[in-house]
Chain A
Amino acid sequence: MAKIKLMHFALIAMLEDSKRLIDYLQRVGVTELADVSDDALTKYRTGPLVSIFEKKEKTARQAVEAVEHRCKIKRTLIQSLTDYTEIDYHQYRQLCEQADTVMVDCEAVNALTEEIRAQKAEIVRQRTMIDYYRPWESLDIPMNARRTPTTAIFIGLFKSQLQREDVETRLAQELPETDGISVEIISSSKLQTCCMVLCHHSDAEAVETALKACGFIRPDKPAKTLPSAAIAQCKAAIEAAQQEIDACNEAIAQYGEQYDRMRLLADYYAAQKEKYLSMEKAATGRRTLYLEGYVPERDAEQLKFDIEKRFTAQMELDAPELTDDVPVLIENRDFAGGVESITNMYAPPSNRDLDPNPVMAFFYYLLFGMMLSDAGYGILMVLVGLVAKYKIKVQGNLRKTASFALYCGVATTFWGVLFGGFFGNLIPTIRTEFLGLDEGPSLALWFEPAMDSIKLMLFSFLLGIIHLFTGLAIRLVTLWKQGDRIGAVCDTIPIYLFVSGFAVVGKDFIEPVSPQVKSIGLYLLLAGAVLIVLTAGRSAKNIFGKLGGGVYALYNNITGYLGDILSYSRLLALNLVTGVIALVVNKLGAMMGNIVAFIVIFLLGHTMNIVINLIGTYVHTCRLQFVEYFSKFYEGGGKVFTPFKFNLKHFKFKEDTINE
């Protein structure tokens, strides 16, 4: 399993069959359509239809969400992971024929949701008004009152905190000769002082001018009634709006039994949209429909047979020339499938690449396990993976993630056993702190990293060199298959020699090796260097260019590979991080000296350690793959084969009904 061979097809059918034919292709779901461009043929213009379906899908999804929310349809995490209903195709078609009636319901639900939103806004508005009237609450005349037969009334506010005397004093200063001005403070706060001023109506103008000079402002939205009555009115309005909301909620809840049909409707419109989008790729003559596209080789003959049997159609199959326009279909089983999404995150493989997933998967799990390397954490991951895969039976991409967790867990357990990590130093801690024994023998099958970190660092570099060499080997195979045999040999063999020699000499710096080995290393290093200088510049035109290119390549290889190999020291670093934090957690727990506190700290601390280190390990393993490994051979940039099919979110067709 790796790269699946795709066949190119060209299909001519009668125009009157076009809808049925495209429906059929969508149902079978094994083809990807390619754009047909031929001046002699006409193209469908389905843009407007597509946007109509898009809108309808949105309407339906909104309604589904509203019903889900009001009817309190709750799903557990496990349910939402495997959340689809199986239906057969006939059921689907039947429901689709009632699409319009369900749509009416959806629109009704959306109208109700809209009404709820409006009423909620109304409540907010009324609350603001209540806050606005509140300072005036004790005023016992309407807020917009201006006069009585004999007096003028000024109701308004100052933008500061004032006492009655303050206002009176300031008015007296402005109008020393006017008498009989009455000031009443209605409310006063740090921000404003609300007051009412009364005077004889003959003095009205003078008082108004004086008040304005003191900073008096009339309220911009005075109530026509008593402020207290206005507040009561607002409260009544809020009550009414709340009742309206409750009524709407209840009305929406009535649609609870339509929930499944609404969900199907949303899926239906999504599928319709997809269909009409694909139609744009087809072309039509006066009476014929013309389609082109790709289909996996294993399905090709069957598809041709089925289509020619059902329709008046002719289907031609041929092997496509592998250009960049041809999509790439990668299929892997569990082991390699788990890392597909990581490869695609970098770039999906192109037609020039071999499928990198199987080899990369092995190294990914290996390096991941070495960085996390705790048997306890590994066993937990294995359990999560197993439960997700075989108990909950997650599907699709989640299934691949479950495989990923499973294999990473296996590798983590493997390294954990070698390095003696089980929830850090849980077992020695329990022995010494709770059982009163000695620490006991080392649990490590191999050695403990913290005791001999130089050894682990050298081992990390060795693992890195193996990883890089595998990448180079894939480059050799790829170039060889493409016919560039000189390139295949010249770009890899000298580097093998050079880096191997380099590694031996480097090891000698840290831990001396035997003189024979060292001299072999030196010869390898020299041979590699000479070969690189001689071959790497071969594309240049003259001898100076060739040599210059060679020397430059030698320099690049020295710095490049040195950096690449040193980069694997992160294997040691992350390995230590997990172990040491786990150790600190256990130590903190043991310091409490009581078993309950120990368990609490143990659970909290190790959960934190797992989360932080899972993310760190995931990221750093990705980086080793992307930067160090992929740069040796991988181009990427292919188009992923995305078959034209029903992308139903909540439903799944029963297998056997597809071909009816």
Chain B
Amino acid sequence: MSNIGLAFALFGAAFAVVFAGIGSAKGVGLVGQASAGALSEDPSLFGKVLILQLLPGTQGLYGFIIAIFVLINTGVLGGAPEAGLAWQKGLMYLASCLPIAFGGLLSGIHQGKVAAAGVSLVAKKPDQSGRAITMASLVEFYAILPFLISFLAVSSIKGIAI
């Protein structure tokens, strides 16, 4: 049972990567389908459409970074795993990962929807790509906020004395 803390922490890392990753995968997938449709009409839009497609990809990245930080702080990556990681601390890591896990999941999907609608806007009016990008990036902010909270929380757990 001495590893239970580490197990909790790894659960947290897995949550962050998996859920934020699902959000991004769904989002990027949605925009990809819309993009393929738009490109069949006008292949020259590729550059503009590509930016829109990549936008919902950042959630996965945020989840990935949080997971990396958990792995580094618990010593799984680059060093010896902290075998005696207290279960309380493990749970703290798990809790810290939840914001980006679920924030990333939902904001990724919704950003994908907005960006996909943006693709159809760009297909009709290519000069509006700036606005389409701005609209999609408004959703992004709600992935950045959970990311920051997860990040601040994960980076401060090591210093807590139990």
The answer to whether A577 touches B62 (Cβ under 8 A) is yes
Whether B84 sits at the interface, judged by CB under 8 Å, is no
Give the complex CA separation of A577 and B50 in angstroms.
20
Task: Select which of A342, A576, A587, A616 is within 8 A of B151 by beta carbon.
Answer: A576
Give the complex CA separation of A342 and B131 in angstroms.
11
The answer to whether B54 touches A615 (Cβ under 8 A) is yes
CB neighbours (8 Å) of A619 from chain B are 51, 55, 133, 137
The answer to whether A584 touches B54 (Cβ under 8 A) is no
Stretch at the interface among A247-255, A516-524, A542-550, A566-574: A566-574
B78 to chain A, nearest CB (A): 7
Interface string of B54-88 (1 = CB under 8 A from A): 11011001101100110000000110000000000
Give the complex CA separation of A583 and B77 in angstroms.
12
The answer to whether A569 touches B144 (Cβ under 8 A) is yes
Whether A598 sits at the interface, judged by CB under 8 Å, is no
Whether B44 sits at the interface, judged by CB under 8 Å, is no
The answer to whether B61 touches A577 (Cβ under 8 A) is yes
Task: Using C-beta atoms within 8 Å of the partner chain, give the interface range for chain A.
Answer: 20 to 34
Q: Which of A468-503 contact B (CB under 8 A)?
A: none
A424 to chain B, nearest CB (A): 12
Whether B36 sits at the interface, judged by CB under 8 Å, is no
Task: Select which of B64, B127, B134, B147 is within 8 A of A623 by beta carbon.
Answer: B134
Q: Which of B129-162 contact A (CB under 8 A)?
A: 129-131, 133-134, 137-138, 140-141, 144-145, 147-148, 151-152, 155
The answer to whether A620 touches B137 (Cβ under 8 A) is yes
User: Across the two chains, which residue of chain A brings its CB closest to B48?
Assistant: A345
Give the complex CA separation of A439 and B134 in angstroms.
41
The answer to whether B151 touches A626 (Cβ under 8 A) is no
Whether A457 sits at the interface, judged by CB under 8 Å, is yes
CB neighbours (8 Å) of A577 from chain B are 58, 61-62, 65
The answer to whether B65 touches A346 (Cβ under 8 A) is no
Given A577-B61, A577-B65, A581-B65, A622-B130 contact (CB < 8 Å): yes
A482 to chain B, nearest CB (A): 26
Whether A530 sits at the interface, judged by CB under 8 Å, is no
Q: Which of A614-659 contact B (CB under 8 A)?
A: 615-616, 618-620, 622-623, 626-627
A109 to chain B, nearest CB (A): 23
The answer to whether A576 touches B144 (Cβ under 8 A) is no
The answer to whether A573 touches B62 (Cβ under 8 A) is yes
The answer to whether B133 touches A622 (Cβ under 8 A) is yes
CB neighbours (8 Å) of A587 from chain B are 77-78
B115 to chain A, nearest CB (A): 11
CB neighbours (8 Å) of B140 from chain A are 570, 620, 623
Task: Using C-beta atoms within 8 Å of the partner chain, give the interface range for chain B.
Answer: 20 to 34
User: Across the two chains, which residue of chain B brings its CB closest to A346?
Assistant: B130
Given A453-B151, A580-B68, A587-B77, A612-B144 contact (CB < 8 Å): no
A569 to chain B, nearest CB (A): 6
Give the complex CA separation of A566 and B148 in angstroms.
11
Whether A466 sits at the interface, judged by CB under 8 Å, is no
Whether A454 sits at the interface, judged by CB under 8 Å, is yes
B99 to chain A, nearest CB (A): 13
B127 to chain A, nearest CB (A): 8
Task: Select which of B58, B65, B130, B152 is within 8 A of A580 by beta carbon.
Answer: B65
CB neighbours (8 Å) of A345 from chain B are 127, 129-130
Give the complex CA separation of A322 and B132 in angstroms.
30
A260 to chain B, nearest CB (A): 24
The answer to whether A623 touches B144 (Cβ under 8 A) is no
B1 to chain A, nearest CB (A): 30
Give the complex CA separation of A345 and B55 in angstroms.
17
A303 to chain B, nearest CB (A): 30
Task: Select which of B130, B144, B145, B152 is within 8 A of A626 by beta carbon.
Answer: B130
The answer to whether B147 touches A615 (Cβ under 8 A) is no
Q: Which of A561-601 contact B (CB under 8 A)?
A: 566-567, 569-570, 572-573, 576-577, 580-581, 583-584, 587
Given A567-B141, A573-B147, A627-B61 contact (CB < 8 Å): no
Give the complex CA separation of A586 and B107 in angstroms.
30
The answer to whether B148 touches A573 (Cβ under 8 A) is yes
CB neighbours (8 Å) of A581 from chain B are 61, 64-65
CB neighbours (8 Å) of B131 from chain A are 346
Q: Which of A192-245 contact B (CB under 8 A)?
A: none
Give the complex CA separation of A346 and B152 in angstroms.
34
Give the complex CA separation of A597 and B52 in angstroms.
33
Interface string of A532-544 (1 = CB under 8 A from B): 0000000000000
The answer to whether A569 touches B148 (Cβ under 8 A) is yes
Given A573-B148, A587-B77, A615-B51 contact (CB < 8 Å): yes
User: Across the two chains, which residue of chain A brings its CB closest to B58?
Assistant: A616
B12 to chain A, nearest CB (A): 17
The answer to whether B152 touches A454 (Cβ under 8 A) is yes
User: Across the two chains, which residue of chain A brings its CB closest to B77?
Assistant: A587
User: Across the two chains, which residue of chain B brings its CB closest to A454?
Assistant: B152
B134 to chain A, nearest CB (A): 5
Interface string of A435-464 (1 = CB under 8 A from B): 000000000000000100110010000000
A184 to chain B, nearest CB (A): 49
The answer to whether A612 touches B148 (Cβ under 8 A) is no
Give the complex CA separation of A577 and B138 in angstroms.
18
A618 to chain B, nearest CB (A): 8
B126 to chain A, nearest CB (A): 11
The answer to whether B152 touches A453 (Cβ under 8 A) is yes
| Chain A contacts to B: CB under 8 angstroms | 342, 345-346, 450, 453-454, 457, 566-567, 569-570, 572-573, 576-577, 580-581, 583-584, 587, 612, 615-616, 618-620, 622-623, 626-627
Given A570-B144, A573-B148, A622-B133, list of 13 further CB < 8 A pairs? A342-B130, A453-B155, A569-B144, A572-B148, A573-B62, A577-B61, A577-B65, A581-B61, A587-B77, A612-B54, A619-B137, A623-B134, A626-B130
| Chain B contacts to A: CB under 8 angstroms | 50-51, 54-55, 57-58, 61-62, 64-65, 68-69, 77-78, 127, 129-131, 133-134, 137-138, 140-141, 144-145, 147-148, 151-152, 155
A-B contact pairs, 20 of them (CB 8 A): A346-B131, A346-B134, A454-B152, A457-B148, A569-B144, A569-B145, A572-B148, A573-B147, A576-B151, A581-B61, A581-B65, A584-B68, A612-B57, A615-B54, A616-B58, A619-B51, A619-B55, A619-B133, A619-B137, A622-B137
